[in-house]
Amino acid sequence: MYGNYLDDAAKIVAEKREENLKFEHARLTAEEKDQILKEFHPDRIASEFEEIKIGPNKGQKAPHELAAMLQAKPRFDPDHVDLNHIDYEADVLVIGGGGAGTSAAIMASEAGAKVLLVTKLRVGDANTMMAEGGIQAADKANDSPAQHYLDAFGGGHFDGKPELVYTLVNKAPSVIKWLNDLGVEFDKEADGTMVTTHGGGTSRKRMHACKDYSGAEIMRTLRDETFNRADKITVVDFTSAVEIIKNEKGEAAGAVLVNMETGEVRIAKAKVVIIATGGAGRMHYQGFPTSNHYGATADGLVMAYRAGAKLLYQDSLQYHPTGAAYPEQILGKLVTEKVRSLGAKLINKDGEVYIHPLETRDVNASGIIKEVRQGRGVKNDVQDAVWLDTPMIEIIHGEGTILKRIPAMYKMFIKYGIDIRTEPILVYPTLHYQNGGVEIDKTCHTNVPNLLVAGEASGGVHGTNRLMGNSLLDVVVFGREAGIEAGKMFGKIAMSDTSKLSLEHVKAFEKERDAAGIKGDEVSPKLLPTYTHGNKEFEKKPWPGAAK
């Protein structure tokens, strides 16, 4: 039990559980969705964004925190970087060791490329590892990629690039087969049929899962396959890319690297560069807690932007509706949407089901924020929140379902004395996903020649809102596409074409920065967040809705 004043609040939920189990909240109309988003979604708070003053997206809006990084000083003076001393040379340089980066490395190596994969932490230290609920694919008889397209395109407010959404959904069935063949242990029936469930915004049950640690299982498999290809893929971990290097033609030709442990600078030269650096949750936009891994600091966006790559929807973030809001030790940790897929409903302090549990993520996040702001949230000393009534799952599906289907959720809460089989949990939106990023085409090309981007660092796949299960799909689909494309490219590029390496674009960016009157000593990319006591950057705002 909670063992404090929250026990009384939880009793209200228990008293109304039977009634709430029978009650089905109607889906919101399009007009109602638009209204709740307009009033309560964090992306709609104009004061939290500013105009970008320099670069390809000059005049557009970005969150204050991202704008600061996009327009900050480079970490190194270009004149003090020796580009003549090459430390690593490869056909394809992959920056990032998550699902997109490993998928890209695997496919490029399969095409015969010599691949260098550099990763800030270790291979697998990525948001992919932390994804829980599942991966979408329309591979059953009652479904189709066309239906998946309608769900994904509409769920993204029709803002996605059609060719990217088309690629995402049409490659999905083959990606599931590829992962299965590599050894991913998907949930299956006794006859081998894959178990599929609904997600928010899906019109069919197409969510394939590995209990509630789907991302970890997929990442385990991709990591193992990467290491199995050691003859073709060289992995350099605890090494960050801090600047894209170009050749005299303006094509991407490598990267400036820095060892995270020693601070030593290294130069990597390559024919093709793939950015797969993932998300930005550790930027803590608007002071929100995050579900993201420690290294998610928008580095890829910064490097690509300084190299001249355009961003798309950089002002759009996803706040997952159900982040843990109690106890403090797990504030912001992801409570997978699969919990709601299995039947748990969102309940306010009065014990009322106030919204359908499987509305799209942005709508449900806005709904929770609305309940809290209007006084119907559950007050506590960590983060005012709403209830997610997890005991409903075992009532609906039978005893043992939680341990069988969402064991990681059970383990996360039982450590703190909360048994989700018998007690509801408190949830509040957590900064979860970077909807926007570097603009790409269907083969992952940016507007900078020989620079490809895949996964969460890219923009346009999900429009301005992502559906559950489309992120794991995105990183594998477009990670593979980037690797396949790089595999086609490298043989047509002579290494002599990359002989004259240059950071002139960084110098030009610095001049543009000076001309715009941008001051300050902040440097980028950020690389890692800082949580030291007294850090003004982190402490400038309390968590949204937190008890004062």
Catalytic residues: 320, 340
Tokens in use for 302?
A: 């910064």
* CA gap 272, 268 in Å, rounded: 11
Q: Are 521 and 266 in contact (CB under 8 A)?
A: no
DSSP code per residue over 42-103: GGG-GGGEEE--SSTTTTSEEEHHHHHHHTSEESS-GGGS-TTS-SEEEEEEEE--SHHHHH
Q: Are 244 and 307 in contact (CB under 8 A)?
A: yes
Of 309, 360, 479, 304, nearest in space to 37 by CA:
360
For residues 239, 128, 44, 203, the Cα torsion angle rounded to the nearest 10 degrees is 160
The rounded Cα 192 to chain-centroid distance in angstroms is: 30
* CA gap 221, 126 in Å, rounded: 14
Q: Are 49 and 66 in contact (CB under 8 A)?
A: no
Tokens in use for 443?
A: 């083969």
The type of residue at 375 is: G
Of 504, 488, 56, 447, nearest in space to 247 by CA:
504
Residues pairing with 434 in the sheet: 317
Of 219, 249, 229, 283, nearest in space to 117 by CA:
229
Cis status of the peptide bond prior to 327, with omega within 30 of 0: yes
